[in-house]
Structure 1
Amino acid sequence: MPTTLRCARDDDADLLPAIERSAAQAFLACEGLQWIASEEVLSAAQHRAFIAAGHSWVVVDEQDRPQGFLCGQACGEDWHIVELSVARALQGRGQGRRLIATVSAWAQAQGFTGLTLTTFASVPWNAPFYARQGFEWLDAQSCSDFLQRQLAAEQAHGLTDRCAMRLKLQGAS
């Protein structure tokens, strides 16, 4: 299935929660994390806010229907990935890597020095995937105040085995 990558548009917002729900079905195979498959996802209204800010990208199929997305926000010198989801049927085909590469280039052009995210440390398509893309694990001392608050909020929500990671952008010191 050929795909294209573009900035998300307002009319995409209603379709993006279903993609995140589809992506979350992969957690059904993870012992102790199956509950994530039925958790709340970002709402269409939240997606519209990311889209309005110019902070959302989508992978679309031949009919221009979104099949994956990445959205985030500025956090000081870094740009934080809030969510990266690819529809279950397209997972493992390089779409996540394409989204990360596009956002990395965009963030670097905007003057950000790195990309950050929080993710599961032990789930194969989480921290190990991001490590293969060049992200490095951050210890507690290396985490920004934002990342420390984010990890604490995730733990309070019942998410364990979480870590923060950062990708240093080319040319950044």
Structure 2
Amino acid sequence: MSTTIREAAAEDAEVIQAIEASADALLIGVLGAPEWPPPGDPVQRLGQPGFVLVLEESADASPLGFVHVLDIDGHAHLEQLSVLPESGRRGHGRRLVDAALVEARERGYSRVTLRTYAEVPWNAPFYASCGFLESIPESGFQLALVETEASLGIDRYGRRIQMTVEL
């Protein structure tokens, strides 16, 4: 079945939040995380600088996944990649990352960063297969992400790392 990737629209807000919640539930189970922050406000996500792309299997179907890339101080940061667990392992995440990198390049970015778990197979190992390499947080925004992860307590469930891909 062919897939379509398009820019998210306001009417996608609720389904984006549901996709993130479902994907988070899978991660929470793997990490054994009894406490986890809820998904972000989808309307706020869609209004942030950057872009959100959604993946659909047909034009009249509900999205199965999304990728959110923030623009912070002129830098692209892959903030969230989520695919419905029942639609996982079909290449949807890779298609979304590939589309996000193309879109970032077209918008003039020279690299994209992200933060993720080092040992979760569909986190750092997956992103490495997409060309991302482990990197060191350098900007104020990147350092603030490390602090935010600590304040939310998500760093206690496994080693968190930053990764960067050059475009």
Distance 2:109 2:165 in 1: 11
Contact preservation (8 Å) 1:72, 1:83: yes
Distance 2:46 2:75 in 1: 22
1:25 is displaced (CA, Å) by 2.2
Contact preservation (8 Å) 1:115, 1:166: yes
How many residues are paired up? 163
Give the AA of the match of 1:67.
L
Distance 2:78 2:24 in 1: 17
5 and 139 in structure 1: CA distance in 2 versus 1, 3 angstrom threshold = same
2:148 is the alignment partner of 1:150: no
1:88 is displaced (CA, Å) by 0.7
1:1-173 equivalences in 2 (<5 Å)? 2-33=2-33, 35-36=35-36, 39-50=37-48, 55-62=51-58, 63-140=60-137, 143-160=138-155, 161-169=159-167
1:90 is displaced (CA, Å) by 1.1
Compute the TM-score of the two structures, normalised by the length of structure 1. Answer: 0.85
1:156 is displaced (CA, Å) by 1.5
Contact preservation (8 Å) 2:50, 2:71: no
Distance 1:129 1:34 in 2: 24
Query: Identity over the aligned pairs, expressed in percent?
Result: 33
Give the AA of the match of 2:70.
Q
Runs (5+) with no aligned partner, structure 2: none
31 and 55 in structure 1: CA distance in 2 versus 1, 3 angstrom threshold = closer
Per-residue deviation, residues 49-85 of structure 1 (Å, max 9, x unmatched): 14xx561100113333111001121134531111110
Contact preservation (8 Å) 2:46, 2:52: no
Contact preservation (8 Å) 1:4, 1:60: yes
Local SS of the residue matching 1:64 = coil
Give the AA of the match of 1:150.
L
Give the AA of the match of 1:134.
G
Contact preservation (8 Å) 1:119, 1:126: yes
Runs (5+) with no aligned partner, structure 1: none
18 and 81 in structure 1: CA distance in 2 versus 1, 3 angstrom threshold = same
Distance 2:28 2:113 in 1: 26
Compute the TM-score of the two structures, normalised by the length of structure 2. Answer: 0.88
